[in-house]
Structure 1
Amino acid sequence: MVFRSLIEVERAIRASWGSDTCAPEDVPDWCPDNPARGQCGTTALVLNDLFGGVLMRGEVHRDGEWVDYHWWNRLGDGLELDLTREQFAANELVGPGEAVSRPTGSGRLDAEYETLRRRVRERLGH
C-alpha cells in the first residue's frame, strides 16, 4: 500500500474508529469524547499491516489491580507508536511493554479488526 505519511495514516485510523471497532469489553465505556477507548488491539494490527515492525503489549492496572492488556507498535527504526494511549483514565496505568508475536488464526477481535482495516484502506484510497 502506498501512502504519503504517517500523519495521513493516523488521520485515517482515528476517523475510522467506532464502537464497532472497539474491543467488546470496552464498548460500554466507548464514546465519541474518548474514541480511542478499546481501539488498541485493532489499531496495532492495522498499523502492523501497513508498517510492519513489532507488536508491543503491556499490562493495564486500574487502581493498582491488573485489568487488561494494552497494545501498540514498535516500528523498524525503533520508534514506538501508540495512537490509543489517551484512552486511559488517571487511575489506569500501562506497564512496560514486551514484544509479542502477531496472533494467528481466528481471534476474538476478527470482525472489529476487519471493519477498521476496511475503513482505513477506503480512507487512504485503496
Structure 2
Amino acid sequence: MTTRTLAEIEAVVRSSWGPDTSFATADYMARGDGRPSRGQCATTALLVQSLLGGDLMVADVEFEGRIEGVHYWNVISGEVEIDLTRDQFGPGESLVNQRRVTTPRSPSSAGEQPFQLLRDRVVAALGS
C-alpha cells in the first residue's frame, strides 16, 4: 500500500461510512441527529488497527445514568490516540470506564459484514 497521511485515511474512511457499515442498536442510532460517525466506532477502530497497528481503546457509553454500549478508538505507535468517531456523541452521553485492549481484535460474527464492507470500500479508495 502506498504510504498515506492520517488526514487522507480519515477522509477516505469518513466517505466510506454508510448505514450498512454501522454496528449499533436502533435506539442508539435514533439519538444520533444524523451524525455520519454514529455507530461507526467498532468497524472504524478495527479498520484503523488493521491499517496502522496499535491497540484498541474501549469505554462504556453512559446515557441518563445507564450504560448503553461501548465506544472504540485507537492508540498507535508513540501513544497517539486516534478517534475518528468521537463526534458521534450527543448531549447527555459520556464515556466511562476507559480501558486499553492490547490483543488484536476481530469483528464479532454480527459485526463481520459491516467491517468487511467498510474495509473493502476503504482499501479500494486507497488503491491497494
8 Å contact kept, 2:46–2:106: no
Distance of 1:106 and 1:61 partners within structure 2: 22
Over residues 14-41 of structure 1, what are the superposed CA-to-partner deviations in whole Å (9 max), with x where a residue is unaligned? 0000000001424853879311000000
Would you say 1:122 and 2:106 are equivalent positions? no
Distance of 2:122 and 2:47 partners within structure 1: 8
Query: What residue ranges of structure 2 are gaps of 5+ in the alignment?
Result: none
Query: What residue ranges of structure 1 are gaps of 5+ in the alignment?
Result: none
Runs (4 or more) in structure 1 with deviation over 2 Å come to 1-4, 26-33, 101-107
Distance of 2:67 and 2:57 partners within structure 1: 17
Would you say 1:13 and 2:6 are equivalent positions? no
User: Which deviates further from its counterpart, 23-32 or 105-114?
Assistant: 23-32
Identify, as 1 or 2, the structure richer in helix.
2
Distance 1:42 1:13, change over 3 A: same
The residue number in structure 1 matching 2:43 is 42
8 Å contact kept, 1:3–1:9: no
Q: Aligned pairs, how many? A: 126
Distance 1:118 1:94, change over 3 A: same
The residue number in structure 2 matching 1:86 is 87
The residue number in structure 1 matching 2:96 is 95
Distance of 1:68 and 1:29 partners within structure 2: 14
The residue number in structure 2 matching 1:4 is 4
